[in-house]
Structure 1
Amino acid sequence: MSYARTSEDVRPRDGHGVRNQLRINERTAYGQGCEIVATYEDNGRSASRAGVARPGFDRLIVDLSRGFTDRGQLIEGVVCTADDRLYRRADDLARFFAALTGRPGRIYVDPLGIKDPYSQEGLLQAVRSLEAAVTETRTRSRRLTDWHWARAVEGVPHSGPRPFGWQEDRITLHPDEAQFVERAILDRIGGKAARAIARDWCDLGVTGTRGGRPNAQTVTQIMTAPRVCGYRANRGELLLVPETRQPVLGQWEPIVPPDQWHAVCATFSPGSLYHHRGSGAPRRTGNERTAPRHLATGFLRCGAERRDGGACRGALCAQKGRSKQSPYVYTCRSCGRCSISGPLADQALERLLFSDAQSGMRLSGAERQSWQSGEMGIEEKQRIIASAFVCCVVRPGVKGTHSWDHSRVEPVWRCLDQAAPAGASV
């Protein structure tokens, strides 16, 4: 098995980084007399941040645990350019080593040679690599944070995507977009709904800087961003000059004066306001994320087959359904070819969790009673599910089938002994 990963791709997602790593893996494998039977890659995926999905790595763990690829080829080891391509977090290291050593005789190969994952020295070397990766990540993160702050206090524009309303230099106003923003702010101060403003923009053919259609959320972000009046923010907070306690002014041309920005912000509830663009931008009030509403949210992965023969492994997200039996459904955001009834998926998760013979774990009597009586909250239920499953792969349904098939939801247990099918050989 050959694995490659890049944290970021300076060329727009063209995959040159992972391609280079895969070529190095081929050379390394050939030099050690090995043959690559499957490749796995994660392009532009961080391994150091919690919650970042790595479909290629997850698929590698599943195949490594069961001992063979989707095409039935036996797996006898893994080749990678460096340890930190595979793991930068302790939980990923544990998952990888548990899957790799689940069957005797397997090897781990990198450009420096063959490593023995079964020996104490091999495990210690992996831990040392993890410690070095964690230290490097923290140092790099601190330097990057300091760099952004230093640029911010000097009023330098954000280095991300071009903000709506400005040209590519991020300083000069875009003649058409700036007029849309100014008009929207005035309309909002006059009482117009953000949704109506977004609808007007769509009717006029206005698109975002990345080509997307405006909606109420993006329009709100644009109107309430401090940059529209020339103020500079950093990590969701207005920057102030220490001596005067006045906002730091950016180097760009403002669209409206500060009093109009304050006026438009006052028309929104505090939780709706964004200090800078982007769905991950902190809100002004520091509100926490909304609690999940559905049990299987975050645990389902798409099992639809890609064109190259591998599985999609994209995340399935909840959305509104069209029937009383399925008021909500989980649908793959990546390929859109796999969908499952929300109540069916939630029931399947509960069945798997309470099936002691399969899960290999035991819920306490109090936990079981609290769960089944409805006293346990959904966040606590998800914590228990996360301790049992890495994820659950959902196979596409069959058209015309109206009965619920719980077997479509296939678990990937954290107890990897349960993940390997009975009778599998190396």
Structure 2
Amino acid sequence: MSDLVAPERSGLIPVASYARTSEAFRQRDGHGVRHQLRINERTARQQGCRVVAAYADNGCSATKAGVTRPGFDQMIEDLVRGCTADGQEIRGVVCVADDRLYRRPEDLSRFYAALTAREGRVYLDPQGIRDPYTQDGLLQAVRSLEAAVTETRVRSRRVSNWHWARAVEGVPHSGPRPFGWQEDRITLHPDEAVLVEQAISDRIGGKAVRAIARYWCDLGVTGTRGGRPNAQTVTQIMTAPRVCGYRANRGVLLLVPETREPVPGQWQPIVTPEQWQAVCATFSPGSLYLHRGSGTPRLTEKKAKPRTLGSGLLRCGAARSDGTECRGAMCSQKGRSKRSPYVYTCRSCGRCSISGPLADEALERILFFDGPSHALPPDFVGPRWTAGEMGLEEKREAIRSVLICCVVRPGVKGDRSWDHSRVQPVWRYATHEEKAEAVS
């Protein structure tokens, strides 16, 4: 929560303030959400309200499916409960614009269900106070959603056309520089280009991609964004059409309409087209190694399943520069010790990590021993869990039935002791009555 929370003032309606900025590739200092929260403070004062809690999502898209918005999720949870975690009553929400709250029908449904879960709630923005219980209030929200969806489609089409027009002219890709080229994306990098050329030659000669990736790691090579090479990233580098001077768009090789020849790029190639075709032929068409870009579907049409108990259930509790919690999803990756063969690390800020076995052990303790009586799983879960009769996904479902998530607090640098209290649960139900109502 933000430090912009106003002090208690009698006679004013207590409201929650929400702010969100879209994906911030260049500036991540949180100035956008800070500005919105200040505007919300002013709007609340003008409308006879006071902000008792502030929620923010910095650099989070509300358009893409599957994106986690920790601030929004926490606000929904507090609205349903009717108060903040410290007991402050909430009787409304203030925001600078509807599209900061929702750009998808699912989010609109969640927000209005939570807002109207109790009587006497209000919604306000710089235009004034809106009654969310009336038909006019709901219709206004739906119209805002339709406008946001239309704007998103128009903007997406415009951006897509802009990228395509640049691509057919052979202009290099925007974004981070590709491995093998310098910052101008045209001139070859003297060291990286040699590595790519050698890797393509070795692969054509029958060398395994994992062996090439290990060799790069032993040399201390890192990607253009600082990551360590692995089999998939090395494959994508070798099989990208750019290595032989061809231009692609969204994973599809572009052809000149008149000649049906590949569109040449404006940059220096690393290998010949024949070498590129030869290295691509060493991979099967369904190989996941060939998957590149968020806009390209996996050729196998299969999604990777979680391999650890806490994947997707843990959220980062590190503090951001604006005072809010990160709440980014924590994913598992290989550890460096026998005691912790895998660790959970925040993929949003990267400033919080915890031993995988410690976190999974803490989840089990929370589920069976540390939780309140109304949050216990069904009676049959414990014996089956202890007897080893439950698979990983069934265990995860049992945890999700009573927990929304668990927030992992940052550890102390240099302290290797196992502190289970770092994993703090966010319960799905506050009372027996709420649980019974949800089950029924």
- Give TM class, smaller chain: 0.7 to 0.9
Match of 2:290 in 1: 274
Cα distance change of structure 1 residues 149 and 288 upon mapping to structure 2, 3 Å threshold: farther
**Aligned: 1:36 with 2:51:** yes
Counterpart position of 1:168 = 183
Aligned pairs for 1:127-166 within 5 A: 127-166=142-181
Residue 315, structure 1, aligned to residue 329, structure 2 = yes
Measure, in 2, the Cα distance between the counterparts of 1:269 and 1:216. Answer: 15
Question: What is the aligned counterpart of 1:13 among 28, 31, 35?
Answer: 28
Equivalent-residue separation in structure 2 for 1:252 and 1:96 (angstroms)? 49
Q: Deviations over 1:33-83 (max 9, x none)?
A: 332233222122110110011112112222222233344333232211100
Question: Relative contact order (C-alpha < 8 Å, sep 6+): which is higher?
Answer: 1
Q: Which runs of 5+ in 1 are unaligned?
A: 363-373, 420-426
| One-letter amino acid of the structure 2 residue matched with residue 249 of structure 1 | P
CA distance in 1, matches of 2:424, 2:227: 34
User: Alpha-carbon deviations, 1:148-193, whole Å to 9, x = none?
Assistant: 2222222222112111112222222223322222122222223333
Alignment of 1:5-404 (within 5 A): 5-9=20-24, 11-270=26-285, 271-274=287-290, 278=293, 280=294, 282=296, 285=299, 287-293=301-307, 297-302=311-316, 311-319=325-333, 332-333=346-347, 334-337=350-353, 391=405
Q: What's the CA shift for 1:344?
A: 5.7
Amino acid at match of 1:282: T
Equivalent in the alignment of 1:366: none
- The amino acid that maps onto 1:253 is Q
2:253 counterpart letter in structure 1:
L
Q: Does the CA-based 8 Å contact 2:244-2:269 persist in structure 1?
A: yes
Kindly tell me the number of residue pairs found equivalent between the two proteins: 412
Residue 412 of structure 1 corresponds to which residue in structure 2? Answer: 428
Give the secondary structure class of the aligned counterpart of 1:227. helix
Query: Counterpart amino acid of 1:412?
Result: R
The worse-fitting range, judged by mean Cα deviation, of 249-258 and 192-201 is 192-201
Consecutive unaligned residues in structure 2, runs of 5 or more:
1-15, 379-387, 436-440
Is the CA contact (8 Å cut-off) linking 2:60 and 2:69 kept in structure 1?
yes
1:258: Cα distance to partner?
0.7
Give the conservation status (yes or no) of the 8 Å contact 2:21–2:59. Answer: yes
Tell me if structure 2 keeps the 8 A contact 1:70–1:310: no
- CA distance 1:252–1:404, change in 2 (3 Å): closer
1:333-373 deviation digits (Å, cap 9, x = unpaired) = 5543556667668879998xxx99769xx9xxxxxxxxxxx
CA distance 1:204–1:379, shift in 2 (3 Å):
closer
Partner Cα separation in structure 2 for residue 91 and residue 316 of structure 1: 24
Q: Indicate how the Cα distance of structure 1 residues 154 and 389 shifts in structure 2: closer, same or farther if over 3 A, else same.
A: farther
Structure 1 distance, partners of 2:221, 2:274, is: 26
Q: Per-residue deviation at 1:401?
A: 10
Distance 1:18 1:348, change over 3 A: same
Alignment check: 8 A CA contact 2:291 2:299 kept: no
Q: 1:339 to 1:375 in 2, by over 3 A?
A: closer
Cα separation, 2, equivalents of 1:134 and 1:251: 36
Letter paired with 1:289:
K
AA at the equivalent of 1:122: G
- Aligned match of 1:367: none
Deviations 1:284-328 (A, max 9, x none): 84543234445764344346777987654232334568889x997
- Secondary structure (helix, strand or coil) at the match of 1:39 reads strand
Q: Distance in 1 between matches of 2:144 and 2:394?
A: 34
**Is the alpha carbon distance of 1:3 and 1:132 closer, same or farther for their aligned partners in structure 2, counting shifts above 3 Å?**
same
Report if aligned partners of 1:304, 1:337 keep a CA contact under 8 Å in 2: no
**Does 254-263 or 376-385 show the bigger shift?**
376-385
Aligned to 1:369: none
For residues 99 and 42 of structure 1, the distance between their equivalents in structure 2, rounded to whole angstroms, comes to 18
Q: For residue 230 of structure 1, report the CA deviation from its aligned partner.
A: 1.1
**Offset, 1:228:** 0.4
2:17–2:37 CA contact under 8 A, matched in 1: yes
Q: Which amino acid aligns with 1:98?
A: A
Counterpart amino acid of residue 129 in structure 2: I
Change (3 A) 1:287 1:157: farther
The question of whether the paired residues in 1 share the 8 Å contact of 2:403 and 2:426 is answered with no
Task: Give the Å deviation of 1:226.
Answer: 0.9
Q: Counterparts of 1:413 and 1:221 in 2: how far apart (Å)?
A: 45
What is the root-mean-square deviation of aligned Cα atoms in Å? 4.4
Q: 1:242 to 1:53 in 2, by over 3 A?
A: same
Please give the alpha-carbon distance, in whole angstroms, between the structure 1 residues aligned to 2:410 and 2:182: 44
Cα deviation for residue 104 of structure 1 reads 2.5
Give 1:21's aligned amino acid: Q
SS of alignment partner, residue 52 of structure 2:
coil
2: distance between equivalents of 1:70 and 1:414? 11
Match of 1:370 in 2: none
CA contact (8 A) 1:226 1:232 kept: yes
Aligned to 2:8: none
Residues 9 and 17 in structure 1, CA contact (< 8 A), matched pair in contact too: no
Aligned pair in 2 of structure 1 residues 122, 347: CA closer, same or farther (>3 Å)?
same
